[in-house]
Amino acid sequence: MAETLRSSAQTMMAAEQIIPPPPAFAAQALLGSHSAFVKRWQDSVENSEAFWAEEAAELLSWEKTWDQLFVDQGECRFHWFSGGMLNASYNCLDRHLTSRAHKTALLWEGEDGSERSFTFRELRDLVAQFAQGLAAKGVKQGDVVTLYMGMVPELTITMLACARLGAAHNVVFAGFSAESLGARIGDANSALLITADVCYRRGKEIPLLAISREALQQCPDVRELIILERAGSPPLPQSSSGEHLLFPPQGGASHFRESSWQETLELAKGQQHPAVAVPSEQPLFMLYTSGSTGKPKGILHSTAGYLLGATLSCRYVFDLNDRDIFWCTADQGWITGHTYGLYGPLSLGASVFMYEGALDFPDWERVWRMITRHRLTIFYTAPTALRAFIKQGPDRPRAHDLSSLRLLGSVGEMINPRVWHWFYHTVGGERCPLVDTWWQTETGAAMVSTIPGAVGSKPGSAGYPLFGIDLQVVDENGSEVARGSQGYLVITRPWPYMMRTIVGDHQRFIDTYWRQLPGCYFTGDFARRDADGYVWILGRCDDVINVSAHRISTMEVESLLVAHPLVAEAAAVGVRDALTGQQLQCFVSLQPRVSADSSTREALIAYIVRSIGSFARPREVVFVESLPKTRSGKIMRRILRDKAEGREASGDLSTLES
């Protein structure tokens, strides 16, 4: 622990001045001053049941309200809003039709500049119709549907159609390989995969259909692949039975049939599936993320609790109102895209902007042009993107009319004060509050942030715990450390929008999150709290690294490498990188008689990319005779990290193998 904390020391050199909250934000009228916020926060944790009940009743529409707000069933089975019934797609769409039917719900821009937009009524109709099409194919409450579609409006439609039926969606980021996709389909027990023929990135077609077909070779239980056609595919082959067999499987028989997304929709023309009221705890979705062991974890979220967190944080942290157009630059294949690219804003009746493609394509002005053109009001992005913008010429945003922006947000990694100030001054023109938001796939929605209008920001600090969230910074024994000292960040009690379990492995959920320091949710992050109660995140304390705000498990990479026939032993570490935060570096000792040359190196890199996805490409693969180990045989990753970051190997080397 000390070692990681030492390496994070520079991150805390921030001047701890508070940037005062700007006026004219809803929370200001509601909460008033910072001290009024702290008082309300205190009340929200001391009387948390009353707080959650009040917010859930106000922010969500229920078919039936709950009988019991919180039940701890033992073995870390936490139930919220028991007895309540609701539907997430109803909350995001139908309930807005009385006042917002003709308001834009979703505005989309493709990488080629094409645009599509959908009003709340149009989106509701498409979602209800597609839900009917899915129901006709046998999808029902409790099923799991995997989506591998890229960033298209049909992804949003499909996610909400699943929610409408009470089926859980399992969105897989389009950067994942066939192997990773197959593993996620299998682990989630999903019988249906929905994909697109292609998606577009940096002007290139990504062959999602080919990847999906390859993935399904390892998924014998999948019975159908639904394909959204985007690339001007040839006319559909008609089967004699009138079945919609599209793209008949290449190369002979297959265990799954293929059909078209558009036809699934068409078949249900004129029919609308009603929103099925489901119990509060009905799984809304699962999302796979890297853990500190090799196997990715399927993080399962509930309907009511999750939706409450998404909606509540949009209300307080993003101050969303009816005129807002919210752009969360995260891909919908990650939790940030789920919570702030879809559920939170739509639940509050705000418009969302969705962009397919790379932020720097065809040039670095793209982002500023889109903000200007669509008059976007909230811009929520990751520090890795901001660092890249700064590098491309810090004054470029000034050449654009960004006056539509009224709030900025940051997520995914620590935003250092230099980058914070650039974002605040150059993009926000000192007019827009900048909220950092700390949270995780597991937490469902923001947990630490500042509330514009009520709570000022400290550049470099994630902010203050949000309402109803009680956290502590503790030592190895779980005792709270003094203010200003560093330790493990824990959440001291369950909250409604937390994950419910790891798919298929509840014991791992208990062990990973609730047993490390008994009684608390263990975040896996180091942090400190300053005298004002602000939280400063110092990085991960486990084997998860953060590359461009993407989580990668070094253990997953290591277990892949050691399974490769050329490799005898391997270690993977995260090394600091000015642009991406961290990068992956691998140390490999090869099997006898394998030559340590560039073709072996390329083969191993290609293997990692094929096995996980291109975002896991190591910056370097270093060949070594042997790996440094302790006497008990543990690889000493600290020494490898020191070496990778150009430092003298530090610490006690006496246990090193000679």
> Integer distance in angstroms from the first to the last C-alpha of the chain?
26
The number of residues making up the chain comes to 658
Instruction: Decide: 478 and 520 in contact? Cβ < 8 Å.
Output: yes
Shortest Å distance, C-beta 524 to ligand PRX: 6
Looking at residues 237 to 276 of the shown chain, list those that interact with ligand PRX (rule: CB under 6 A).
Answer: none
Cα–Cα distance between 620 and 241 in angstroms, integer? 54
Residue 316 neighbours by CB under 8 Å, 6+ apart: 27, 451, 466, 467
> By C-beta, is 320 or 335 nearer to ligand PRX?
335
Name the residue with tokens 């700390």. 438
Q: Which stretch binds ligand PRX (CB under 6 A): 319-327, 434-442, 451-459, 467-475?
A: 434-442
Shortest Å distance, C-beta 423 to ligand PRX: 13
> By C-beta, is 259 or 548 nearer to ligand PRX?
548
Nearest Cα to Cα of residue 323 among 406, 394, 240, 393: 406
Q: Which of 44, 180, 259, 289 binds ligand PRX (CB under 6 A)?
A: 289
Residue 305 neighbours by CB under 8 Å, 6+ apart: 80, 81, 280, 281, 444, 495, 496, 497, 498
Shortest Å distance, C-beta 498 to ligand PRX: 13
> By C-beta, is 224 or 532 nearer to ligand PRX?
532
> By C-beta, is 443 or 585 nearer to ligand PRX?
443
> By C-beta, is 228 or 407 nearer to ligand PRX?
407
Kindly state the tokens that stand for 231.
Answer: 């690339």
Q: Which stretch binds ligand PRX (CB under 6 A): 13-21, 64-72, 431-439, 593-601?
A: 431-439
Our finding on whether 441 is near ligand PRX (CB under 6 A) is yes
The three-state secondary structure class of 183 is helix
Instruction: Decide: 107 and 326 in contact? Cβ < 8 Å.
Output: no
Binding mask 327-346 for ligand PRX (x = CB under 6 A): --------xx----------
> By C-beta, is 167 or 172 nearer to ligand PRX?
172
Shortest Å distance, C-beta 335 to ligand PRX: 5
Q: Which of 438, 467, 513, 522 binds ligand PRX (CB under 6 A)?
A: 438
Q: Which stretch binds ligand PRX (CB under 6 A): 84-92, 258-266, 405-413, 472-480?
A: 405-413
Binding mask 527-566 for ligand PRX (x = CB under 6 A): ----------x--x-----x----x---------------
Looking at residues 445 to 474 of the shown chain, list those that interact with ligand PRX (rule: CB under 6 A).
Answer: 462
> By C-beta, is 412 or 618 nearer to ligand PRX?
412
> By C-beta, is 279 or 344 nearer to ligand PRX?
344
Shortest Å distance, C-beta 544 to ligand PRX: 7
Instruction: Decide: 427 and 405 in contact? Cβ < 8 Å.
Output: yes
Shortest Å distance, C-beta 515 to ligand PRX: 18
Residue 67 has, within 13 A of its CA and on its CB side, a CA count of: 3
Q: Which helix (H) or strand (E) holds 80?
A: strand 78-82
Binding mask 491-530 for ligand PRX (x = CB under 6 A): --------------------------------xxx-----
Q: Which of 411, 451, 584, 590 binds ligand PRX (CB under 6 A)?
A: 411
Instruction: Decide: 553 and 539 in contact? Cβ < 8 Å.
Output: no
Our finding on whether 437 is near ligand PRX (CB under 6 A) is yes
Tell me, letter by letter, the H, E, C secondary structure of 552-591. EEHHHHHHHHHCCCCEEEEEEEEEEECCCEEEEEEEEEEC
> By C-beta, is 516 or 546 nearer to ligand PRX?
546
Give 211's DSSP letter: H
> By C-beta, is 263 or 525 nearer to ligand PRX?
525
Q: What are phi and psi of 321, to 5 degrees?
A: -135, 180
Helices 598-611 and 178-188, interaxial angle, to 10°? 30
Count, in order, helices (H) and strands (E) of the chain: 21, 32
Instruction: Decide: 27 and 454 in contact? Cβ < 8 Å.
Output: yes
Q: How many residues bind ligand PRX (CB under 6 A)?
A: 21
C-beta atoms surrounding 507 within 10 Å: 12
> By C-beta, is 349 or 581 nearer to ligand PRX?
581
Cα–Cα distance between 325 and 185 in angstroms, integer? 33
Binding positions for ligand PRX, rule: CB under 6 A: 289, 335-336, 411-414, 436-441, 462, 523-525, 537, 540, 546, 551
